């Protein structure tokens, strides 16, 4: 009887989850109107000239989409080295007291609300303005990327640590017994062995940067900025566009653009998830192929 109830509960949970997911996607697609059309993304601008930055886009989603990609790339440049380095240190170098402190700190950072992280970035900007008397860098892609990196850094650090610790004891000791140093063992054995797992987790954490609104709202995203010339300029982003447009729309067409932006943002996140899966499978297949040759 208990087995049947557990099985029924599992099927019911799967049905509820699938229903919510399908309903959400269908609702977005019904509300949106040609989200991937030329007019929706580029407005009245020429697509080629807009991509080459020769013509500004005023009525399309291209500046917000470009800003989203810029903030993802910039925040990952900061978070990936710091996160993987922290994960390697926790797994291979930290003593018990240091590990306990850093592990708890990482867990606390992972649980911080994004609005708190955004407020931290906002406070740093105000401090820089005060110190440099308004001449220092302010609300910008750099400020948003710095703040967003604090959101994803704990996930990257923990996933790197867990991946390295999951390595079998035999494989971990093989290179050391053959005379390799600890650094060589990490660089040539442990990281390549767990590369697919680490990389897939990194790509999944990228989606957090793509969808967060609270941080970018407090550190640099604005409604109409176009594509910034450098990382110290203000910018547009899809999450902020959705929030701003849906809360202050004055016509039905503006609300439709918010739905179109939602579909585009969900598509970017889905693309990252699929890319993560394909990369992990490709790396795993290559590793198995090399093992069979040997």
Average pLDDT, the chain: 84
* pLDDT at residue 290 in the model: 66
Is residue 138, in this structure, part of any structural domain at all?
yes
Helix 141-165, helix 62-88: angle, nearest 10? 40
* pLDDT for residue 3 is more than 80: no
Given a contact cutoff of 8 angstroms between Cβ atoms, the answer to whether 248 and 225 are in contact is no
Question: How many H helices and E strands in the chain?
Answer: 14, 0
Q: Give the position of tokens 């000239």.
A: 49
Is residue 66, in this structure, part of any structural domain at all?
yes
Sequence length of the chain is 294
* pLDDT at residue 112 in the model: 83
Confidence band (pLDDT; 50, 70, 90) for 16? very high
Residue numbers of the domain that contains 127: 35-293
Mean pLDDT (whole number) for 185-190: 84
* pLDDT at residue 183 in the model: 84
- DSSP assignment string, 204-235: HHHHHHHH--HHHHHHTB-SS--S-SSTTS-B
Question: End-to-end alpha-carbon separation of the chain, Å?
Answer: 50
* pLDDT for residue 185 is more than 90: no
Is residue 275, in this structure, part of any structural domain at all?
yes
* pLDDT for residue 136 is more than 70: no
* pLDDT for residue 36 is more than 90: no
Q: Find the farthest-apart pair of alpha carbons in the chain and give their distance in angstroms, rounded.
A: 72
Is residue 11, in this structure, part of any structural domain at all?
no
Instruction: Retrieve residue 236's tokens.
Output: 């547009």
> Looking at residue 141, which CATH number applies to its domain?
1.10.3720.10
Instruction: Retrieve residue 231's tokens.
Output: 């990382």
Instruction: Retrieve residue 98's tokens.
Output: 């240091």
- 5-14, 183-192, 282-291: which has the minimum mean pLDDT? 282-291
Given a contact cutoff of 8 angstroms between Cβ atoms, the answer to whether 161 and 87 are in contact is yes
213-234 confidence digits (pLDDT tens)? 888 888 888 877 778 878 888 8
Mean pLDDT (whole number) for 185-198: 83
62-116 confidence digits (pLDDT tens)? 888 888 888 888 888 888 899 999 999 988 888 888 889 988 888 888 888 888 8
Q: How far apart are CA 82 and CA 102, in angstroms?
A: 13
Q: How far apart are CA 227 and CA 64, in angstroms?
A: 8
Is residue 25, in this structure, part of any structural domain at all?
no
Confidence band (pLDDT; 50, 70, 90) for 134? low
pLDDT: is 280 or 68 the higher one?
68
Q: How far apart are CA 171 and CA 290, in angstroms?
A: 15
Is residue 136, in this structure, part of any structural domain at all?
yes
240-272 confidence digits (pLDDT tens)? 888 888 888 888 888 889 899 999 988 888 887
57: Cβ–Cβ under 8 A, 6 or more apart, which residues? 42, 43, 45, 50, 63, 226
Instruction: Retrieve residue 64's tokens.
Output: 């917000």
Percent of the chain exceeding pLDDT 70 equals: 96
Report the candidate in 269, 229, 290, 252 with the shortest Cα–Cα distance to residue 65: 269
Q: How far apart are CA 263 and CA 241, in angstroms?
A: 12
Given a contact cutoff of 8 angstroms between Cβ atoms, the answer to whether 37 and 62 are in contact is no
Is residue 252, in this structure, part of any structural domain at all?
yes
149-174 confidence digits (pLDDT tens)? 888 888 889 888 888 888 888 888 88
Q: How far apart are CA 195 and CA 294, in angstroms?
A: 19
* pLDDT at residue 252 in the model: 85
* pLDDT for residue 54 is more than 90: no
Q: Is the pTM of this model over 0.85?
A: no
The total of structural domains in the chain comes to 1
Is residue 61, in this structure, part of any structural domain at all?
yes
Q: Is 53 left (phi over 0), alpha (psi -120 to 50) or beta?
A: left
């Amino acid at each position: 009887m208990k087995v049947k109830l557990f099985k029924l509960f599992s099927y019911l949970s799967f049905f509820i989850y699938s229903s919510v997911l399908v309903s959400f996607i269908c609702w977005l697609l019904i509300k949106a109107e040609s989200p991937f059309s030329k007019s929706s993304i580029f407005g009245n601008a020429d697509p080629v000239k807009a991509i080459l930055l020769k013509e500004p886009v005023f009525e399309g989603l291209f500046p917000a989409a470009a800003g989203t990609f810029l903030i993802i790339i910039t925040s990952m440049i900061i978070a990936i080295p710091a996160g993987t380095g922290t994960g390697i240190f926790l797994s291979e170098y930290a003593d018990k007291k240091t590990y306990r402190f850093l592990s708890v700190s990482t867990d606390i950072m992972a649980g911080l609300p994004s609005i708190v992280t955004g407020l931290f970035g906002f406070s740093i900007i105000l401090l820089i303005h005060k110190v440099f008397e308004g001449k220092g860098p302010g609300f910008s892609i750099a400020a948003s990327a710095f703040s967003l990196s604090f959101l994803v850094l704990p996930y990257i650090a923990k996933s790197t640590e867990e991946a390295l610790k999951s390595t079998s004891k035999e494989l971990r000791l093989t290179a050391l017994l053959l005379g390799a140093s600890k650094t060589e063992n990490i660089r040539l054995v442990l990281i390549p062995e767990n590369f697919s797992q680490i990389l897939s987790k990194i790509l999944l954490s990228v989606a957090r940067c793509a969808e967060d609104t609270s941080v970018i709202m407090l550190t640099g995203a604005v409604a109409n900025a176009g594509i910034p010339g450098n990382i110290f300029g203000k910018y547009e982003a899809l999450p902020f566009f959705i929030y701003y447009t849906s809360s202050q729309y004055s016509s039905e067409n503006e609300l439709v653009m918010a739905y179109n932006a939602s579909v585009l943002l969900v598509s970017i996140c889905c693309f990252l998830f699929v890319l993560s899966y394909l990369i992990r499978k490709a790396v795993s297949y290559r590793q198995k192929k090399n093992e069979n040759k040997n």
